[in-house]
Chain A
Amino acid sequence: GQNIDQPTEMTATEGAIVQINCTYQTSGFNGLFWYQQHAGEAPTFLSYNVLDGLEEKGRFSSFLSRSKGYSYLLLKELQMKDSASYLCAGLSGNTPLVFGKGTRLSVIA
């Protein structure tokens, strides 16, 4: 089975940088996803890491350490529209994604 842990809530200031951490325990690890979900909307794909290291996509970056069972999502130059829930999800073998509870990020002026 899998266990995905991430903080429940975070607050950060507009223009700043925020890091959202995710730890996982899983056998047959096959990759880690980050999704963004605005209130009342569907989750949308942000990133997928299967190898160790940092993947950068514009203002968003995602990092994975397989040996530590650890990932983070880094958001730079925060904007008000980045206020949302960020879902960490793990892929194990050929089983479907297992999602964490999500981290609700509030960006304040």
Chain B
Amino acid sequence: ETGVTQTPRHLVMGMTNKKSLKCEQHLGHNAMYWYKQSAKKPLELMFVYSLEERVENNSVPSRFSPECPNSSHLFLHLHTLQPEDSALYLCASSQEEGNSYEQYFGPGTRLTVT
């Protein structure tokens, strides 16, 4: 399997549920990202992990909790979400070296919070 994979592709959850999104990259990259994409808004960076350490957290509510157990895997744990959290959640990876930060995206998880 190649590239960046994400599971599940679709998720419907209630506001009291706990769920996790999973991302796996097979590219040997050393950085991974979580983005949120809502309708008519730009991609919003949520979290960045470089060499398995979190280097950026863009004021994301604590109901979103990332985890990066190794350089190939990234999770986003979801708890007590709100309807406005419904969006496409995209994972990406890159190899941070020199001036090249091209990011490879996974197919995303379409999340609906009811």
Interface size class of A (residues with CB under 8 A): 20 to 34
CA distance A100 to B41 in the complex (A): 9
For A47, the closest partner residue in chain B by CB is B102
Q: Give, as a whole number of angstroms, the nearest-CB distance from A95 to chain B.
A: 8
Binding-face segment, B62-70, B76-84, B104-112: B104-112
Count of A-B contacts judged by CB separation below 8 Å:
47
Given contacts A30-B99, A96-B33, A96-B56, contact A45 B104 (CB under 8 A): yes
**B42 contacts the other chain (Cβ, under 8 Å)?**
yes
Residues of B with Cβ closer than 8 Å to A?
4, 33, 40-43, 45, 48, 56, 90, 99-108, 110
Chain A residues packing against B (C-beta within 8 Å): 4, 30-31, 33, 40-45, 48, 50, 87, 89, 91, 95-102
